[in-house]
C-alpha cells in the first residue's frame, strides 16, 4: 500500500436551479507517500473542486476517493487543507491561531500544544507567538497558516494556490519556506495552482487537467535533484523546457 | 525621552495637540455663545421668554425639581424603563438573530414578517399595548423593547451572516461542528457589529421609553415634557429635554467604554 491517496473515476456534477454543471469527470490519479504532486489546469477547470472532494467537504457524485485505502466520506483528521489566503483570525494571537485545529478536533492536549509551539519556534515565529496577525507581514502570515495546518499533524496536505495572494518578491521566499517545511516534516502534498513555474519548482510530479469537466490530460514526472530548493530549481537546465511543454499543453488543449 | 525626538516630530505632536485643544474650545464656545445669546435676547425681550424660556429659568427649574425630590423620581422612572427595555431587547434580539442564523429554513420563513414588523411604525401599536399591559410602566417598557428588538434582530443577523465565507471554509475543512463554528468564528467576528448595534439601541430604547411615556405615563421625563407642554410651562419642557440629553449622552458613553474594553485585545 504505497499510495496514500487514490482517486478512481471520480465525477462531480453541481446542481443549480437552472442547470447542472459537470465539474469533474472520470478523474483518476494517485499520490504516493511523501510525494509532492501539483495539479495544474486552465482556469475554471475545477481544480479547487478536486481539493474540496479530497478534503471531504462534499461527496463525489460517482467514483471513489481513498485515503490509505479507506474511502473519504467526511472531513478526515489526517488531511490538512491550506487555503489561498491565510484566514488567520484577527482576534486570536498567532499561538492561538495555530491551536485552532487542536481545539476544533478536540485534541487540545499539553503534548499537542507543545508540539505546535515547537513548530512556531522552529520556523522563525517565536518572537511573534503572542502577537496578533495584523502585526505580521503577508509572508509571515502565510507561514503561520501552514504551521496552523500542520499543528494537528496531518499526513497529507492540500494546498489551494496558497501563494497567489502574495506579491511576487514575497512569493518566491514563501514558496521556499513552505517547501522546506513540508519536506522537513515529511509530509505528502497536493498543490493546486495555475502558475506553471511554481508547479515545476515544487513538485515531484505534475498532473495536467483538461478543460471542464476536469480529467487527467497528462502526467509529468520531474527528475530534479531533490536537494535543490525551489528557487535553485528555476536555474536548472530542464526547467524552461518543462515550462514550455506544460505551457503548450495548457493552451493548445 | 523627549530629547530623542526630532524637531519635525516635536512640531507634529505640538500641532496635533493644538488641533485637539482648538476643537474642544470651539465646541464649548458654541454652547456658551448660544446660551448667552439666548439669555440676553430673552432678557431684552427680543424673544418671548414665555414661549422660548431662557437658560437661567431652566437652571432654576432643574434646581427646584431636584430640591423637591421630583427630579429623582422622574429620572429613576425613565432610566429604569429605558435600561430595562434596552437590556431585554438587546439580549432577546440577539438570541432571535442567533436562531435565525442557525436555521436557514426559519430565516426564509420569517423574512417577510420581519420586513413588515420593521417598516411598521411601532407607535401605531400604542393603543393595543395599553389595552394589553395597562396604562403603566409595563406598557412603556414593552414599547421600548418593541422599537429596539427588530433593529437588533436585523443588525445582528446581518452581522452573523456577513462572516467571511473563506473563514467558514477553513472551519469546515477542520471538521468544525455548527456549534464550534458559532462560538469560535461567528460570535467573535461579530463583536464590532454587536457594539454598533448597542450604540443604535441606546437611541432606540430612549425613543421607545419617551414615546411610551407620551402615551400613558404618570411620571418620568417624557411625562414631564408632555405635562409641561400642556400647561404651557416651557421652562419645564426645556429643562426635561436637557436632562434627557445628558442621560442619553451618559448611556452612550457607557457603551463606548464597553467598546474600549472589548476591542482592546485587537
Q: What residues have CB less than 8 Å from B254, skipping those under 6 apart?
A: none
What pLDDT sits at residue B265? Answer: 54
DSSP code, position B162 = T
**Beta strand pairing call for A36-40 and A156-160:** unpaired
Query: Which pTM does this prediction carry?
Result: 0.85
Q: Which of A204-213, B34-43, B154-163, B206-215 has the lowest mean pLDDT?
A: A204-213
Rounded to an integer, the average pLDDT of B150-178 is 94
- Whether the per-residue pLDDT at A219 is higher than 80: the answer is yes
Q: Cα-flanking dihedrals φ and ψ of residue B37, to 5°?
A: -60, -45
CB contact under 8 A, B169 and A89: no
Q: What is the pLDDT of residues A231-241, one digit of tens each?
A: 888 888 888 88
Rounded Cα–Cα distance for residues B100 and B94 (Å):
10
Q: What is the pLDDT of residues B72-86, one digit of tens each?
A: 999 999 999 999 999
Percent of chain A as helix, strand, coil, to the nearest 5: 40, 25, 35
- Whether the per-residue pLDDT at B99 is higher than 90: the answer is yes
Alpha helix segments (H runs only) across B44-69: 49-52, 55-67
What pLDDT sits at residue A124? Answer: 84
What pLDDT sits at residue B2? Answer: 53
Nearest to A215 by CA among A13, A29, A4: A29
Contacting residues of A for B185, CB less than 8 Å apart: 89
Cβ distance B94 to B152 under 8 Å? yes
To probe the interface with A, which of B167, B171, B175 has the most A CB atoms within 10 Å?
Answer: B175
pLDDT-based confidence at B264, cuts 50/70/90?
low
Rounded to an integer, the average pLDDT of A157-172 is 85
DSSP string, chain A: --EEEEEEEEEEEEE-SS-EEEEEEEEEEEEETT-EEEEE-STTSSHHHHHHHHTTSS--SEEEEEETTEE--S--TTEEEE-SS----TTS-HHHHHHHHHHHTT---HHHHHHHHHHHHHTT-GGGTTS-GGGS-HHHHHHHHHHHHHHT--SEEEEESTTTTS-HHHHHHHHHHHHHHHHHTT-EEEEEES-HHHHHHH-SEEEEE-SSSB-EEEEEE----TTS-HHHHTTSHHHHHHHHHHHHHHHH-
Rounded to an integer, the average pLDDT of A197-221 is 85
- Whether the per-residue pLDDT at A23 is higher than 90: the answer is no
Q: What residues have CB less than 8 Å from A104, skipping those under 6 apart?
A: B171, B174, B175, B176, B180, B184
DSSP string, B19-35: HHHHHHHHHHHHHHHHH
What H or E segment, with its residue span, contains residue A79? strand A79-82
A contact set with B (CB within 8 A): 55, 57, 74-75, 77, 81, 83-85, 87, 89-91, 100-101, 103-105, 132, 134, 152
Q: Measure Cα distances from A233 to A161, A176, A204, B4, B11 in Å.
A: 19, 11, 12, 48, 53
Rounded to an integer, the average pLDDT of B206-216 is 91
Contacting residues of A for B169, CB less than 8 Å apart: 57, 83
- Whether the per-residue pLDDT at A102 is higher than 90: the answer is yes
What pLDDT sits at residue B58? Answer: 92
- Whether the per-residue pLDDT at B184 is higher than 90: the answer is yes
What pLDDT sits at residue B64? Answer: 92
pLDDT-based confidence at B116, cuts 50/70/90?
very high
Q: What is the pLDDT of residues A137-164, one digit of tens each?
A: 888 898 899 899 999 989 999 999 888 8
By C-alpha distance, the chain A residue nearest B179 is A104
Share of chain B above pLDDT 90, in %: 77
Rounded to an integer, the average pLDDT of A32-40 is 91
Q: Cα-flanking dihedrals φ and ψ of residue A234, to 5°?
A: -65, -20
DSSP code, position B122 = G
- Whether the per-residue pLDDT at B266 is higher than 60: the answer is no
CA B9 to chain centre: 39
Question: ∠ CA(A181), CA(A153), CA(A168), 5° rounding?
Answer: 35
Rounded Cα–Cα distance for residues B114 and B103 (Å):
15
CB contact under 8 A, A100 and B189: no
CATH number of A1-78+190-253: 3.40.50.300
By C-alpha distance, the chain A residue nearest B265 is A91
pLDDT-based confidence at B3, cuts 50/70/90?
low
By C-alpha distance, the chain B residue nearest A160 is B170
Rounded Cα–Cα distance for residues A122 and B222 (Å):
65
Q: Copy the grid coordinates of residue B163.
A: 462572516
Contacting residues of A for B176, CB less than 8 Å apart: 104
Tell me: cis bond preceding A213? Omega within 30 of 0 counts. yes
Contacting residues of B for A83, CB less than 8 Å apart: 166, 169-170, 173
Q: Could you tell me the end-to-end alpha-carbon distance of chain A, in angstroms, rounded to an integer?
A: 34
Candidates B167, B188, B265; nearest CB to A87: B167
Query: Where in chain A are the domains?
Result: 1-78+190-253
- Whether the per-residue pLDDT at B136 is higher than 90: the answer is no
Rounded Cα–Cα distance for residues B141 and B135 (Å):
11
Rounded to an integer, the average pLDDT of B87-99 is 96
What pLDDT sits at residue A70? Answer: 83
Cβ distance B221 to B244 under 8 Å? yes
- Whether the per-residue pLDDT at A1 is higher than 60: the answer is no
To probe the interface with B, which of A80, A91, A165 has the most B CB atoms within 10 Å?
Answer: A91
**What is the per-residue burial (b if ≥16 Cβ within 10 Å, else e) of A190-200?**
bbbbbbbbbbb
CB contact under 8 A, B173 and A55: yes
The whole-angstrom distance between A141's CA and the closest CA on chain B is 15
Taking each helix axis from N to C terminus, what angle separates A168-184 and A138-151, rounded to the nearest 10 degrees? 20
Amino acid at each position: 500500500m504505497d499510495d496514500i491517496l487514490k482517486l478512481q473515476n471520480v465525477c462531480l456534477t453541481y446542481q443549480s436551479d437552472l442547470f447542472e454543471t459537470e465539474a469533474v469527470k472520470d478523474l483518476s490519479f494517485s499520490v504516493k507517500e511523501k510525494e509532492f504532486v501539483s495539479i495544474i489546469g486552465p482556469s475554471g477547470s475545477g481544480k479547487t473542486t478536486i481539493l474540496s472532494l479530497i478534503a471531504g467537504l462534499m461527496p463525489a457524485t460517482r467514483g471513489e476517493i481513498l485515503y490509505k485505502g479507506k474511502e473519504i466520506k467526511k472531513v478526515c483528521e489526517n488531511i490538512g487543507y491550506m487555503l489561498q489566503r491565510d484566514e488567520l483570525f484577527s482576534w486570536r494571537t498567532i499561538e492561538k491561531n495555530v491551536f485552532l485545529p487542536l481545539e476544533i478536533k478536540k485534541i487540545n492536549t499539553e503534548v499537542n500544544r507543545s508540539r505546535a509551539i515547537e513548530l512556531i519556534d522552529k520556523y522563525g515565529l517565536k518572537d511573534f507567538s503572542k502577537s496578533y496577525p495584523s502585526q505580521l507581514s503577508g509572508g509571515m502570515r502565510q507561514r503561520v497558516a501552514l504551521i496552523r495546518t500542520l499543528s494537528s499533524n496531518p499526513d497529507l496536505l492540500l494546498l489551494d494556490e496558497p501563494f497567489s495572494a502574495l506579491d511576487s518578491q514575497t512569493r518566491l521566499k514563501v514558496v521556499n519556506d513552505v517547501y522546506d517545511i513540508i519536506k522537513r516534516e515529511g509530509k505528502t502534498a497536493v498543490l493546486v495552482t495555475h502558475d506553471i513555474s511554481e508547479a515545476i519548482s515544487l513538485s515531484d510530479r505534475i498532473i495536467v487537467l483538461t478543460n471542464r469537466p476536469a480529467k487527467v490530460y497528462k502526467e509529468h514526472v520531474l527528475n530534479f535533484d531533490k536537494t535543490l530548493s525551489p528557487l535553485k530549481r528555476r536555474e536548472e537546465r530542464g526547467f524552461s523546457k518543462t515550462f514550455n511543454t506544460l505551457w503548450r499543453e495548457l493552451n493548445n488543449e | 525621552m523627549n530629547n530623542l525626538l526630532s524637531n519635525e516630530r516635536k512640531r507634529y505632536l505640538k500641532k496635533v495637540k493644538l488641533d485637539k485643544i482648538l476643537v474642544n474650545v470651539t465646541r464649548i464656545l458654541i454652547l456658551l455663545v448660544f446660551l448667552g445669546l439666548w439669555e440676553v435676547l430673552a432678557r431684552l425681550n427680543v424673544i418671548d421668554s414665555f414661549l422660548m424660556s431662557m437658560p437661567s429659568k431652566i437652571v432654576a427649574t432643574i434646581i427646584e425639581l431636584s430640591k423637591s425630590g421630583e427630579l429623582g423620581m422622574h429620572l429613576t422612572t425613565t432610566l429604569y424603563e429605558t435600561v430595562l427595555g434596552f437590556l431585554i431587547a438587546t439580549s432577546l434580539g440577539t438570541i432571535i438573530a442567533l436562531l435565525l442564523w442557525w436555521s436557514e429554513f426559519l430565516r426564509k420563513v420569517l423574512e417577510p414578517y420581519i420586513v413588515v414588523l420593521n417598516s411598521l411604525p411601532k407607535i401605531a401599536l400604542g393603543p393595543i399595548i395599553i389595552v394589553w399591559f395597562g396604562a403603566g410602566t409595563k406598557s412603556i417598557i414593552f414599547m421600548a423593547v418593541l422599537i429596539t428588538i427588530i433593529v437588533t434582530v436585523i443588525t445582528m443577523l446581518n452581522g452573523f451572516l456577513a462572516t467571511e465565507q473563506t473563514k467558514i471554509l477553513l472551519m469546515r475543512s477542520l471538521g468544525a461542528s455548527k456549534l464550534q463554528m458559532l462560538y469560535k468564528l461567528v460570535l467573535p467576528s461579530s463583536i464590532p457589529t454587536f457594539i454598533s448595534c448597542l450604540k443604535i439601541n441606546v437611541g432606540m430604547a430612549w425613543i421607545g421609553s419617551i414615546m411610551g411615556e407620551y402615551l400613558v405615563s404618570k411620571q418620568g421625563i417624557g411625562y414631564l415634557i408632555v405635562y409641561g407642554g400642556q400647561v404651557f410651562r416651557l421652562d419645564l419642557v426645556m429643562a426635561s429635554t436637557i436632562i434627557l440629553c445628558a442621560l442619553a449622552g451618559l448611556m452612550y458613553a457607557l457603551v463606548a467604554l464597553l467598546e474600549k474594553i472589548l476591542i482592546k485585545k485587537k
